[in-house]
Amino acid sequence: MTEVDSETRLSFSQKIWRPRSQVTDHYKQLARNCGLSPLFTPIIAYQQLDDEEKVERYFRPLLKHLTDPAQLLDMDLAVARLIQAIEGGEKLAVFGDFDVDGATSSALMVRYFRWLGIPIRVYIPDRLTEGYGPNPQAMKTLQEEGISLVVTVDCGITAFEALAEAKRLGLDVIVTDHHQGRESLPDAVALINPNRLDETFPHKELAGVGVAFYLVMALNRALRTTGFFTSRPEPDLRELLDLVAVGTIVDVASLTGVNRPLVSVGMRVARESKNLGLNALMETARIKGSLSAGQVGFQIGPRINAGGRLGKGPLGSELLHTEDPQRAEQIAAELEEANRERRALEDKMLRQAMAKIELMGLEPSKRTLVLAETGWHSGVIGIIASRLSDRFHRPTVIIALDEEGNGKGSARSIPGIDLLLAIEACGPLLVGFGGHKAAAGLSIEAAQVAAFAEAFEKAVVAENHPSLFRPAMTYDGRLQIPDVNLETVGRLERLQPFGRANPEPVFLIEQVRLMDARAIKESHVKCRLVDLHDNAIDTIAFRVLPGGLGEGLLQQGLWVDVVGSLSINRFRNRETVQLIIRDARPAKGHDLTVNGR
């Protein structure tokens, strides 16, 4: 099969397949020089690890590779003001977001200051009544409580009105954030954000919790210099990295650069099970054995998020910093129930959204999708936007309108398209907006929704090449069925943790026959793949029925090519390797239509 062929043939799910990276002779030689299996050559090419030092850092991520926090603008100002507050016995508060990144960030600050023997007030706004980020009334409330210094985490870079009110009240604010800054900045003691427009710090992909950890690193070093720890033990900051890992993974931050050692070490800390809240969540989620990044993203994260989505924002933060085992169990149970409510609400709204799409029709020529509805729950619109963006492969905005005509929107992008840039072009039609390339939020009046949908479509089309809107499946290399074994899976474990910008490797296996195919639990398909030499492997494809991929995989005896990832199936104390199928197509020479496709 030629690479041209891979670009033009459609799969059962109507996608083209293409290699994720271009493997040159340089990368082949580099892999040999580093003693790596050819299996890894496409990986180092994709990561653009073009010398041995970069390869070494990728395969052995260490905390010593972290960039000095002093390189962040305003870090010195923030540390100086915090030391002044500590020495003066001032009352401190942390203002966090209600999502997982905000919960982990605020919990990190509480845990650190608890080690210093300093209580810190946590303020998490109510998602439904206060909305995102600092607001003037919250600043007034904190000032009336006697707070003199507030540290924001995962928010604040566009909180102009709230920070102006804080200054009027004599309340000092240190902003730590990672969302895209604008040309003008709010008035604060310090603004620490790798995505300030004037910031030269090289690692723009830090999550909010990563920025908070950088502040703690700088503060801890300064306190050591002042002799603060001569009469008390110095905190081991590595014990905070479980929170950094959880927040970074769930916020879908890039797992490259400094995030790679932060998350890699953080996952090891999380597996040591010292955090009562994480332990309680693993219990309610029925996670057994070693915690994986995938489990953090798809099981732990949604449970922490559920509280904020349903108006119980402080629960996630409290769970992650509590030292009371009974309280941890209580909150975990409450979040479990909230997560069940969230799933039911999500299913209902997704059905409503699909009905709207069916009613209005989805024009193939349109590149974006904007839906608005009165009564939709603003806490779930982000999930719906993500689901529809994945399903229809186009940037998607879901807007929840209230009875007064005020709308809250959540947007999700597709690979290669800068979502925030397109939304910024629609700024005059919006009350407010913020976010980053892959995800964003906005406020809008109902009367402007139609105009926004039109402007958003034009902005996305104007800035992006048509090829980006063609659904594609990328793979990292080719395998034969005999290569699918425990040894191969063990080698691939070196690439963990997987996530955005460090995806789980996907492999192409060609010319195999579908055998023993059957549907399980209504939406999954299990089958065996058998090659020309009668080598066989067990496979499963999740959530593919109804749909072209599921229907294609149920064609007994059909010769196909498949792309998928490798996993270990543990059953009755026995480990076997299975292929998780991501897509499939008739093998060359066996092209068939599937139900009219």
The pLDDT value recorded for residue 591 is: 52
Q: What percent of the chain has pLDDT over 90?
A: 82
The pLDDT value recorded for residue 264 is: 96
What band does 576 get if pLDDT is binned at 50, 70 and 90?
confident
Q: pTM of the predicted model, to two decimals?
A: 0.88
Angle at 252 between CA 249 and CA 258, to 5 degrees: 65
The pLDDT value recorded for residue 569 is: 79
Q: Is the pLDDT of residue 597 over 60?
A: no
Token pair in block for residue 512: 């195999």
Q: CA nearest 103: which of 206, 224, 251?
A: 251
Let me know if 507 is exposed, middle or buried by CB neighbors in 10 A (0-12, 13-18, 19+).
Answer: buried
Matching fold, domains 65-336 and 362-469: no
CB atoms within 10 A of CB 9: 16
> Which CATH number among 3.90.1640.30, 3.40.50.970, 3.30.565.10, 3.90.1150.10 corresponds to the domain 65-336?
3.90.1640.30
The pLDDT value recorded for residue 88 is: 97
Helix (H) or strand (E) holding 172: strand 172-176
What 490-498 contacts at long range (C-beta under 8 Å, 24+ apart), as own/partner pairs, is 491/37, 491/39, 491/40, 492/39, 492/566, 494/59, 495/40, 495/43, 496/264, 496/267, 496/292, 496/293, 497/245, 497/249, 497/255, 497/263, 497/264, 497/267, 497/292, 497/293, 498/255, 498/293, 498/294
Report the residue count for the chain: 597
Lowest mean pLDDT among 42-56, 179-193, 520-534, 570-584: 570-584
Q: CA nearest 134: which of 113, 101, 161, 110?
A: 161
The pLDDT value recorded for residue 134 is: 95
- CB hemisphere CA count around 390 (13 angstroms): 6
Q: pLDDT digit string (tens) for 142-190?
A: 999 999 999 999 999 999 999 999 999 999 999 999 998 989 999 999 9
Helix, coil or strand: residue 469: helix
Lowest mean pLDDT among 137-141, 295-299, 533-537, 591-595: 591-595
Q: pLDDT digit string (tens) for 259-301?
A: 999 999 999 999 987 899 999 999 999 998 788 999 999 999 9
Which of 91 and 290 is assigned the larger pLDDT? 91
Distance (Å, rounded) from C-alpha 205 to C-alpha 208? 9
Give the fold, CATH level 3, of 3-20+472-586.
OB fold (Dihydrolipoamide Acetyltransferase, E2P) (2.40.50)
State how far the alpha carbon of 523 is from the alpha carbons of 111, 124, 238, 476, 518, in Å: 43, 39, 42, 27, 10
| Mean pLDDT across 376-405 | 93
Domain boundaries, given as residue ranges, for the chain: 3-20+472-586, 21-57, 65-336, 362-469
What band does 430 get if pLDDT is binned at 50, 70 and 90?
very high
Distance (Å, rounded) from C-alpha 505 to C-alpha 490? 13
Q: Is the pLDDT of residue 247 over 80?
A: yes
What band does 509 get if pLDDT is binned at 50, 70 and 90?
very high
- With b for 16 or more beta-carbon neighbours within 10 A and e for fewer, the 16-50 pattern comes to bbebbbebeeebeebbeeeebeebbbbbbbbbebe
The reply to whether CATH 3.40.50.300 applies to domain 362-469 is no
- With b for 16 or more beta-carbon neighbours within 10 A and e for fewer, the 433-457 pattern comes to bbbbebbbbbbbeeebbeebbebbb
Which of 568 and 411 is assigned the larger pLDDT? 411
The pLDDT value recorded for residue 595 is: 38
| Mean pLDDT across 365-373 | 95
The pLDDT value recorded for residue 388 is: 95
Q: pLDDT digit string (tens) for 292-315?
A: 999 999 999 999 998 877 777 899
Indicate the average pLDDT of the chain. Answer: 92
Distance (Å, rounded) from C-alpha 435 to C-alpha 418? 11
**Three-state secondary structure of 535-574:** CEEEEEECCCCCCHHHHHHCCCCCEEEEEEEEEEEEECCE
